[in-house]
Structure 1
Amino acid sequence: MYNKPIYVLLVEDSPSDARLQHHRFSRLDREKWQLVHVESLTQAINHCNEFTFDVVLLDLNLPDSDGLETVVEFRAAVPNIPVIVLTGSDDDELALQAISQGTQDYLCKDKITIPLLVRTIYHAIEREQILKQLLESERRFRAVFNQTFQFMALLTPEGTVLEMNQTALEFSKVKQEDYVGLSLWETNAWNYSTASQNWLKIAIAKARHGHLVREEVQIRSAEEAIIWIDFSLKPLTDETGKIVLLIEEGREISGRKEREMNARQQAEAEINRVWEQEQELNQIKLNFVSMVSHEFRTPLTTIQTSNHLLEQYYKILPKDKVETYHTSIKKAVSRIANILDDALVIGKTVSRKLEFEPAPLNLVTFCDNLVADHQPQVSNNCQIVFTHQGQCNQVYMDKNLLQQIINNLLSNGIKFSFEGSTVNFELSCHNERATFCIQDQGIGIPPEDLDRVFESFYRASNVGNIRGTGLGLSIVKKAVDLHGGQILLESQIGVGTNVQFTLPINLHK
């Protein structure tokens, strides 16, 4: 069956089992059968790296490896040599597991006969050869057909056609045998001019030396028309890095006019979007000017009055009065800064410059701190009550956006609540989502205003002289959207408003 010697590597640490195998092989033709014996997996791998064996007889239980892990480690290090497992137990399940890990066969030591051993070795070698052929065939098949929407061909590194896919055959209106064996530049698509053939020869030479070639070129169609294609040549290497194949791909680009038209339409749509964005920004500017003239008047008056009193009477004013005026100035400046910050956030959302930047956050501590910052600023004796449940300590959210959300909702809850009432702030974390609920006991929002409360600069019709910019809920909605969350607002006149929003805990982690 085989004219050349068969080299067998025996991996066996049992001296008695090894002697038995040596005895069996000694009864065979010694010129044809060459047996090498090692006692460990490491030695086996080293020997296979230094010498080419035809088959390996592998004991599963070795000094440096045990059980199926022996097969796994050996196949990982030496994938191209057929393996026959030797074991002292006749275990069908173990045999199946060993074969599933890439071995060719399985022999129970106490049932081995010389004819069985020889037959098993021959079969293992044959199966390994067939497997290699199948793997090579599959590799070529995948290389050709993994992108069947384009016409493709497999070439030798010298440019000879080995195979064409169905799309290429239909495009050229030829049979496989018409082109296989021809140089690509000899085919109908390229042989219409010397210039095109010379260009293709140079491209193949580049690809043969490892370069990717891609160019828009002209070829001849089956209808004898000269058309433009997007053409490429890609070198394909084997496990050693040697270039063994060239993959030729092409697609017709005669429909470019249609694509250019689509590109123009997209450009016009983008221009319209930018124009609409500019219009919205202009409207924001107008609304901002109107709002500034109203909302800045009170804090500016406070600053001006307090500063005048300090300048005129600083030396005779009691210390607590001086501190009061300083506090009034700080609050007024803070009020102006908050208004400007809100306006900047709205401007960024319109111009799409407001970014979502999540980071690790202790949500309970974060909310506690925000409540602590707000409580001293309350002027209507309201109390903020914060409660939480669930695992909220470590989440992944945008700290700045979340601060905008909670600050605006707490500020609204306090501002529109009745004297001495309670603003309840509840936090619940379950199923990878955090739910925030802020409920006040105040004037509420008229039903006819509920659909518009998230619009920039819009204020409910019943706010009266309560100060505000109409930006808070608009900022809240945009920040919730950037988190990929949801928000729900319910309100009843004279009872209060309940705002609930839910955010993913680990978004984009």
Structure 2
Amino acid sequence: MNRPLRVLIVEDSEDDAELLVYELEHGGYAPVYERVDTPSAMNAALDKQQWDIVVADYTLPSFSGPAALNLLQERGIDLPFIIVSGTIGEEIAVAAMKAGAHDYLMKGKLARLAPAVDRECKEALERRKRREAEQTVRQNEERFRALIENALDIITVLGTDGIIQYESPSIEKVLGYEPGAIVGKNIVDYIHPEDTANFLNTLNQVAQNPSITLSIEFRFQHQDGSWRILEAIGKNFIDNTVRHGNVFSSGLSSIVLNSRDITERKRAEEIRMALEMERELSEGRFNFVSMMSHEFRNPLSTIIMSGELLKDFSDTISKEQKDRCLDRIEDSAQEMMRLLDDILSLTKAEVGKLEFKPQPFDLAEFCYNLVEGMQVAGGNKSRINYVIKGECSPACMDENLLGHILANLLSNAMKYSPEDSEVEFEISCHEREANFKIQDQGIGISTEDQHQLFESFHRGQNVGKIPGTGLGLCIVKKFVDLHGGKISLQSQVGVGTTFIVT
């Protein structure tokens, strides 16, 4: 099947035009053609429709091949232009080619016409595709430039040596610099010294991984000398990056940074966090006062009731009853005193005012005396099995704080264990480190409670009516921290608890 071809023939001879058409048909084309022999006729034909190729005689009575070529060029139309003539010499033909003609043929050798048309039509198609691609690129570049130059974000292009090659106009609005004033400078000169290392490390990663995009926050100096916080993403668009020990290595062509000013957002976050902290402190103070009121209410109620009983019925109650009232008043007062001491110790520890005075002492003897005193005070409720391993004397600790730590853990072990049970108290010393292990057979601590065990006023859900303030372990944790130690536990409900202090 012959290929369609629209041919504009510039020729004054109808016979010569027919001969050209015949050669094209013979070469496999189905030409649709129009013959013109004047400039006006050619213009009319070009206005009427699109053409695939122009074949022109060199010399016409009222026109010429070069004039037709010039007319086509003035109209900005890129069509294959082939000159066919029987009169021009080689020099004239070469001049016509230099002027823009694509080929020339002698009328006596038209066998080359179809191959020449085929070749020139293909080249014309390639030229058209190339123009369209270039036009698309130009349009994309124009759109991209318009986006960059009107964007609120700062677009920065860094060279291989860290020199700023391009800055978008938005930098003047955000940071006060005219784009031209900062181009040619090293970006590191404008970054806060404390942020430089992290900034370069991030760009290093971008340099080594061209396929990734990384984000970073850094402080950039404003033109007025203040520091603004920028949030940026960096991208290396060049493949086969080579690194030579520096973020701006010779293998990089450019790194593009897209930055935005988040200073006000950061300040708003700081204000929000400060308000949130203040709210939490207010809630903490409220909860603390509420818990204090609750803890003091019971002993105060006991004192008031016992005092009213002595006041209103002192003439009728027996001496034994009076003694019991006085004992309850004394016990409640001592309970309140212990609670106040715990609160004072906790407050001092939290504000850093607690005295910490480590001194050398005999740890083995200290613990022996502590156990003996607690065993006497605890009566027959639980027996403390005291074991010491290794050479533990002398030790350098704060005796007062250590006594509070061990006394609290041992008293808890005895308090939450059944009567006549045993509490294991083991001390092991090795290479200037003392480990204390206190193990009971008590009610145990649930997993849920273990997460909050060292918080103020927290008590286990299974303590029932066993008395306590919920401050002891919180204070123990503070005192252990002052010694630079650690406290841990293992517990199972209904089996017992083991505390280890190191």
State the TM-score bracket (shorter-chain normalisation): 0.3 to 0.5
Q: Which has the larger radius of gyration?
A: 2
Q: Please, what TM-score do these two structures have when normalized by structure 2?
A: 0.42
